[in-house]
Amino acid sequence: MTEPQLFHFYRPVISRDHKIIAIVSLFLGALSGRSLLDKFGSVGTLGVGTGVRLIITLWWLFVPAIKTLEN
């Protein structure tokens, strides 16, 4: 109710789109976490989570630097 352009589906609205991405990501994360827990148990699920965080950490090494006006 606080989003005035909530139903303008054909125009990109950044705040609305980020909310939708967050809700979908939360749902998919919960679904995949529960399925991993059923398949591998708690230790295996924590290992998968640690591996994903390690990949994200390594991924940050390849983010390009911001170019400033001084350069």
- Beta-carbon contacts of 44 under 8 Å, excluding residues fewer than 6 positions away, are 36
Cβ density class 14-32: b for 16+ within 10 Å, e for less = eebeeeeeeeeeeeeeeee
pLDDT tens for the chain, residues 1 to 71: 566 666 777 777 787 788 889 999 999 999 999 999 999 999 999 999 999 999 999 999 998 888 887 65
